[in-house]
Each structure stands twice: as structure tokens, then as C-alpha cells.
């Protein structure tokens, strides 16, 4: 009863709505309550910082040189000091200690991890960028223009069956095959990972577009004589993008893992470039003598992938009103 | 009430949906959602279209606006055949005809502010921009009973009735002559329904609008419509001026509908005319008169032959019925 009265007063005093939250404020409000997601976001913030400083301090202003070989200092555990009497002064690590120890050639693992964080992160983002662009284009096309006929089959059938074919390949082995044929540069790896991981996004976007196409506001846009491009990019894409964003965050984690896996197998980014994957791969031979070579990159990958997944999960809940407050 | 000038004439409108099945998606049968519907809407009047859910009312409205492509038929709107316009001409013509939707929750893009929703058609058609656009939007908001500062809000901040007002403002933005109200008040509380109906009535006077008012609610249609058409399973049953239809319904289906309509008087007694059975599937409609399976006055001829169009006298009354009873 009271609900009804409120509704009616509300309606009669129609013009006196209290100022409500914008969707963005509402999103922040929900996201902030999710402690795990916030933790994930903080870790990702630190990672981005590490990646940027890694690029800066190992390549442009060289404070840490990941490529300096100091054979007398090989296999030093984390936090040990360099044997300064034999190492030339310009090769000494910053702060005078090896924060994360040294590897079999006496290279500073901390410097290598920093350099690797940039490689891993950029591979993650660019690969996912490529896959999201392909996914949104193909999915949007299949969803919106799906009914058009191309010869005897519809565009929708064509695109979705191609997607199914791509999904049938075990992605990792597909990537391995491609990488075996191409020179294993960072860029090739980004592109290959991107080109083999768009299928999920395509399915998502197609499903969203199929639903949105029947929504009254899209029909209204048509009735108002809006151009098709405007209907698609102003009315449909913004409403379809939330689940894509979520799958993209999780996709970044997958791409980082894939790159690590490739590097581990020796098909990834080639030395002297350090990535978390090839530090891990190099370390596997010395797991008993120098366990930090194995555990530091492994732990870093674990934490970052976990952080991406937590943020993705948090985004999913904050962006989808139906999942809120669970 | 009518000045006799037809704004929209629809002739023999048909809309069939294919049912595909099998390995190669062959068309195995057709759903005849709208089967040979003709109607005429006069300038400045309201044409009510009533019928049960699934009878094809909405499809009629949407094919007229070319939101769905018709299978057959013509629709003359101010002399031009809407079904033969190419994409560019259609875009121009759309400025003169608009639609108001049933569900005010799904008819507004949740990610756009009210101001940009209403202003969008103006901007896209190059009718106003900058300050002029802003004043135009404010005037529209004011006209539908909302406040100018509402234009920076998002649709989810409004109640159903207010959202419907926003939808009306958007439809009015291009200054149309003809608006399809597709169950425009069905999703609203009764008290709000009255407000919206009054608003629609006022706007009709002010802008000399014509409405195709689609509804399943006879009271609502009676309140607003000058002419009423009754549909059943994709076909017209009866078309008549509103008063004639309510006072002197001819078709048994119309009679049954009217007798099911509650009267706001507890002491009033009325003989209910109850229909048995359900609406048959439009996939496989009955032969002859589509209503014969449920008609209380069914005759043998109804089961085999399509009923002819009968003009109820006097002819200037334009009371038409499709029923063998009167032939």
C-alpha cells in the first residue's frame, strides 16, 4: 500500500525528483564495495607503474641494465650484495643489492623482471585490443546485418561458422604453428595471440546485437530516420560494450599466460629481451639451486592474472544491474 | 470532427512471416500476421485499432512506418506510396510520421541523457543546432509537462509516466503529422494513463496530429478514437465510427469484446457473451471466416467462404463489417 502511495505522490509531484547518481557514479559506488576487485585494481595500477618504469629505466634512462653479465656474481639469492671488488663500478646494481638475486649469467633478476613487465603487459593489451576490434566488428556485423544473403547462405551463418571453425582449433597449438613459421618477434606474438582469441568476443557481441536490434529504442532510432551508422555506434555499441569490457580484462590475463607459455617453450620473445615467460623458462633448469629464478616470475604471473580476473569479475558485477548486491 | 481529408490510406496490407525449417532453411509455411487489411485515417483524427494480443495490431502499425517490410499492399501517405520509397526518400518521409512505444522502459536508450535523446532527431535531420536546439528541446519538454532541467538526466531517473512523456517529446521533435501510438498507455497505471491520454488529446488539437491508436483496452480507445477497427487473427472484423461501434456493434466478435468490457457501475446488469476456446494459431488459421471456430452464430457458409465486406447503411456512416450474417 505504502509503495503505491509513494509512487502516486511521486507522479503528482512529478517534477521534484531528488538528484540521483549518474550511471558512472553508481558504477563507482558498486565497484568500491567489492574489496577483492579493488585489491585487483591496485595491483594492476602497480603493474602499470612497474611496466612504465621498467621501459623507462631499462631502456631510456638506464638505471637497471638487464643485459649486464656479471659471471662472478651468478646465482646470488635475493637481497644479496654484489662482490664489489671484482665487478666494474658501472655494472653495479642500483642501491647496491640484487633485490631479486641473479641468474646463471649474473644478470640482475629485478632489472629483467622490470623489463619483462612492460613486454608482458603490452602483449596483453595489444593482443586483446586486436581481438576486441575483430570481435566487435565481426560480431556486430553478424548480429546487425545477419539476415542479408550472400549467395545461398546468410552473413550470420558465414561469420558464425567461421568462428566455430576457429574455436575448434586448440589455440595454443595454432599459435605454436604460426610462430614456428614466422620470426618470433614481440609484434608477431602480439598479432598472433590477437588473431586467435577473438571468437568469444564475436559470440558475445553478436548475441548482444541480436537482442538490442529488437529493443524499442533501436526501432525508435530507425523510425526517427537516424542513419544506420549512428544507430549502431551511438545506440547499440555503448549498450553492448559492458560484457566485452569484462571479457577483455580476463582476456588480458589469458594473453599474458599464453605469452609466458610460448616463451617457456622457447617460441616466444627471444633473448636478450626478458619476459616473465622466458625468465621462468631459463630458471627451470636451476629449480633446486636457485629457486628464486623460477618462483619470482611464476608468482608475478600468478598475481597479475589473478588481479585481472578479480577486476574483470568486479566489473561484471558493477556493470550488470542484475548481479548487484549478491 | 472529421474534415474528410484522408491523410493515410492503407490498401490490402499483408505481412507474412516465413517459418523456416529443415537443413537448408526452406520456407515451410507462413504466419499470416496481417492478411489483407485496408484502412483510412483522416487528417487530425484518431483511428483506434483494437484486438487481442497476437492479432497483428502492432504489425500493422510497424509495417505502415516501414519498420518492417510489408509483404503486399500499398500505403498512401499524403499521396505518396510509403512502400515504394527508397532509403533516402524514406528518411525524409519519416519526419512526418512517428511512433510512441508501449514499454517506456525499453524505448529510451539508457545511456543517453533526456536532452540528447530528444535533440538527436533534430540534430541528425539538420533542423536545429547549438542554442536553437537547446531552446527547442526545452520547449518540447515543457510541452509534455517536464521541466527544462530534466534534460541533463538519464531515463532511469524517471518514473514510467515521465518516461512516456519523454518518448512523446521525442516523437514530436520532428513535428510529424501522423503518430502511431503502439499500446502507448498499456504499461502505465490507470491514473497515469489518464494524464497521458489527456496529453495526447491536447497535442492532437495543438499540432493537428493524426493518431493510429493501437490498444487492447476498449475504454482507452473509446476515450480517444474517432474511428475504430477491430482485428482478429490478422484480419479486420469491423470498422466503424467510435459511437456507432459502441452503440451498435454488428460483428459477433465485436459484440463479445464489448460485453467483456467492464462498466463502472456495480448495479448495471449486462448479458455477458462468453467465447469458448482459444484463438487459433495464426500458423494454421481456420478456413472461411477466421472467427468461425468461436463464433456463437456460426453458419455452414462461414466455415468455407471468406466473409464479404458489408457496408452497414446508411453508407455515409462508413460502418463496415466482414460477416456472413449481413450478406
Please determine, for residue A1, whether its predicted confidence score (pLDDT) is greater than 50.
no
C-alpha cell at B98: 512517428
Q: Has residue A9 been placed in a domain? A: no
| Cα dihedral across residues B98, B103, B105, B110: positive or negative | negative
Model ipTM value:
0.85
Which three-class secondary structure string do you get for B268-292?
A: CCCCCCCCCCCCCCCCCCCCCCCCC
Residue A95 within a domain: yes
- Contact list, A230 vs chain B (CB under 8 Å): 124
* Cross-chain Cβ contact A17/B158 below 8 Å: yes
pLDDT tens, per residue, chain B with 327 residues: 445 678 999 999 999 988 877 666 677 788 888 988 999 999 999 999 998 888 889 999 999 999 988 999 999 998 889 999 988 889 889 989 999 999 888 899 888 889 999 999 999 988 888 888 989 999 999 999 999 888 888 888 888 899 999 999 999 999 999 999 998 888 888 888 999 999 999 999 999 999 999 998 888 898 899 999 999 998 999 999 998 898 888 899 999 888 887 777 777 776 777 787 788 888 888 888 989 888 888 888 888 888 988 888 777 778 899 999 887
Chain A residues bordering chain B (beta-carbon distance below 8 Å): 7-8, 10-11, 14-15, 17, 20, 22-23, 215-217, 219-220, 222-227, 230, 234-235, 238-239
DSSP annotation of B86: -
- Whether A6 is in a domain gets the answer no
Is the residue at A8 inside a domain?
A: no
Q: Is A10 within the bounds of a domain?
A: no
Whether the pLDDT of residue A10 is over 60: the answer is no
**Tens-digit pLDDT profile for residues A160-178:** 999 999 998 888 888 888 8
* R_g over Cα of chain A: 25
Burial of B88 (0-12, 13-18, 19+ CB in 10 A): exposed
Q: A225 lies in a domain?
A: yes
Q: Where are the alpha helices (DSSP H) in chain B?
A: 57-64, 87-93, 114-124, 130-143, 160-172, 190-207, 218-224, 242-247, 252-260
pLDDT of residue B176: 93
Render A64-94 in DSSP notation, one character per residue. S-TT---GGGTTPPTTBPP-TTTS-GGGSPG
CATH number reported for the structural domain that contains residue A110 in this entry: 1.10.3720.10
In a domain, residue A17? The reply is no
C-alpha torsion sign, points A99, A105, A106, A107: negative
Strand B6-21 relative to strand B72-77, pairing:
antiparallel
| Partner-chain contact A14 B112, CB within 8 Å | no
List residues bridging with B181 in a β-sheet: B100, B213
Domains in chain A: how many in total?
1
Determine the residue among A23, A148, A220 to mutate to test chain B binding: the one whose Cβ has the most chain B Cβ atoms within 10 Å: A220
For residue A103, tell me if it sits in a domain.
yes
Handedness of CA A47, A53, A59, A65 (dihedral sign): negative
Mind listing the pLDDT tens digit for each residue in B187-229? 888 888 999 999 999 999 999 999 999 998 888 898 899 999 9
As a dihedral over the C-alpha atoms of residue B77, residue B82, residue B83, residue B89, rounded to 10 degrees, the angle is 160
User: How far away is chain B from the Cα of A138, in angstroms, using its nearest Cα?
Assistant: 23
pTM over 0.80: no
Domain that holds residue A312: 29-324
Amino acid at each position: 500500500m505504502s509503495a503505491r502511495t509513494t509512487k502516486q505522490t511521486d507522479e503528482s509531484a512529478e517534477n521534484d525528483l531528488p538528484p540521483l547518481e549518474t550511471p558512472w557514479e553508481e558504477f563507482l559506488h558498486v565497484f568500491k564495495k567489492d574489496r577483492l576487485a579493488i585489491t585487483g585494481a591496485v595491483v594492476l595500477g602497480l603493474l602499470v607503474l612497474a611496466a612504465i618504469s621498467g621501459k623507462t629505466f631499462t631502456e631510456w634512462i638506464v638505471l637497471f641494465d638487464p643485459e649486464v653479465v656479471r659471471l662472478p656474481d651468478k646465482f646470488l639469492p635475493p637481497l644479496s650484495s654484489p662482490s664489489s671488488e671484482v665487478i666494474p663500478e658501472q655494472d653495479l646494481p642500483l642501491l647496491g643489492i640484487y633485490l631479486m638475486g641473479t641468474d646463471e649469467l649474473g644478470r640482475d633478476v629485478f632489472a629483467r623482471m622490470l623489463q619483462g613487465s612492460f613486454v608482458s603487459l603490452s602483449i596483453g593489451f595489444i593482443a586483446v585490443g586486436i581481438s576486441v576490434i575483430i570481435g566487435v566488428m565481426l560480431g556486430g556485423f553478424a548480429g546487425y546485418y545477419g539476415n542479408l544473403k550472400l549467395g545461398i547462405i546468410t552473413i550470420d551463418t558465414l561469420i558464425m561458422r567461421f568462428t566455430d571453425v576457429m574455436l575448434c582449433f586448440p589455440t595454443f597449438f595454432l599459435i605454436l604453428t604460426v610462430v614456428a613459421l614466422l620470426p618470433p618477434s614481440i609484434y608477431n606474438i602480439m598479432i598472433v595471440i590477437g588473431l586467435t582469441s577473438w571468437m568469444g568476443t564475436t559470440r558475445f557481441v553478436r548475441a548482444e546485437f541480436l537482442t538490442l536490434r529488437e529493443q524499442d529504442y533501436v526501432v525508435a532510432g530507425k523510425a526517427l530516420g537516424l542513419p544506420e551508422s549512428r544507430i549502431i555506434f551511438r545506440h547499440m555499441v555503448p549498450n553492448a560494450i559492458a560484457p566485452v569490457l569484462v571479457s577483455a580484462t580476463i582476456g588480458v590475463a589469458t594473453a599474458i599466460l599464453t605469452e609466458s607459455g610460448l616463451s617457456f617453450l622457447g617460441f616466444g620473445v627471444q633473448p636478450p629481451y626478458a619476459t616473465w615467460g622466458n625468465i621462468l623458462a631459463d630458471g627451470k633448469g636451476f629449480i633446486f639451486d636457485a629457486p628464486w629464478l623460477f618462483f619470482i616470475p611464476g608468482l608475478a604471473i600468478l598475481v597479475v592474472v589473478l588481479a585481472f580476473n578479480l577486476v574483470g569479475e568486479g566489473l561484471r558485477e558493477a556493470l550488470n544491474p542484475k548481479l548487484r548486491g549478491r | 470532427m472529421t474534415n474528410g481529408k484522408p491523410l493515410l490510406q492503407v490498401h490490402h496490407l499483408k505481412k507474412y512471416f516465413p517459418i523456416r525449417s529443415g537443413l537448408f532453411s526452406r520456407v515451410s509455411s507462413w504466419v499470416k500476421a496481417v492478411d489483407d487489411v485496408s484502412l483510412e485515417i483522416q487528417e487530425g483524427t484518431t483511428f483506434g485499432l483494437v484486438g487481442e494480443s497476437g492479432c497483428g495490431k502492432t504489425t500493422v502499425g510497424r509495417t505502415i512506418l516501414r519498420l518492417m517490410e510489408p509483404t503486399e499492399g500499398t500505403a498512401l501517405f499524403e499521396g505518396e506510396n510509403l512502400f515504394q520509397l527508397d532509403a533516402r526518400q524514406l528518411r525524409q518521409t519519416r519526419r512526418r510520421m512517428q511512433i510512441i512505444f508501449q514499454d517506456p522502459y525499453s524505448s529510451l536508450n539508457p545511456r543517453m541523457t533526456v536532452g540528447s535523446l530528444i535533440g538527436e532527431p533534430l540534430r541528425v535531420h539538420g533542423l536545429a543546432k547549438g542554442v536553437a536546439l537547446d531552446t527547442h528541446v526545452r520547449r518540447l519538454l515543457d510541452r509534455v509537462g517536464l521541466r527544462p532541467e530534466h534534460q541533463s538526466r538519464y531515463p532511469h531517473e524517471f518514473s514510467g509516466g515521465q518516461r512516456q512523456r519523454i518518448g512523446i517529446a521525442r516523437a514530436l521533435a520532428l513535428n510529424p503529422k501522423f503518430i502511431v501510438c503502439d499500446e502507448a498507455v498499456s504499461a502505465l497505471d490507470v491514473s497515469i494513463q489518464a494524464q497521458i491520454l489527456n496529453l495526447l488529446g491536447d497535442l492532437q488539437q495543438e499540432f493537428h496530429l493524426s493518431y493510429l491508436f493501437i490498444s487492447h483496452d476498449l475504454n482507452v480507445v473509446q476515450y480517444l478514437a474517432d474511428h475504430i477497427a477491430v482485428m482478429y487473427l490478422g484480419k479486420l472484423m469491423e470498422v466503424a465510427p467510435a459511437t456507432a461501434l459502441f452503440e451498435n456493434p454488428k460483428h459477433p466478435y465485436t459484440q463479445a469484446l464489448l460485453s467483456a468490457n467492464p462498466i463502472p457501475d456495480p448495479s448495471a446488469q449486462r448479458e455477458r457473451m462468453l467465447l469458448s476456446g482459444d484463438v487459433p494459431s495464426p500458423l494454421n488459421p481456420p478456413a472461411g471466416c477466421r472467427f468461425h471456430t468461436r463464433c456463437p452464430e456460426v453458419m455452414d457458409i462461414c466455415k468455407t467462404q471468406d466473409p464479404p465486406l458489408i457496408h452497414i447503411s446508411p453508407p455515409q456512416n462508413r460502418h463496415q463489417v466482414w460477416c456472413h450474417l449481413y450478406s
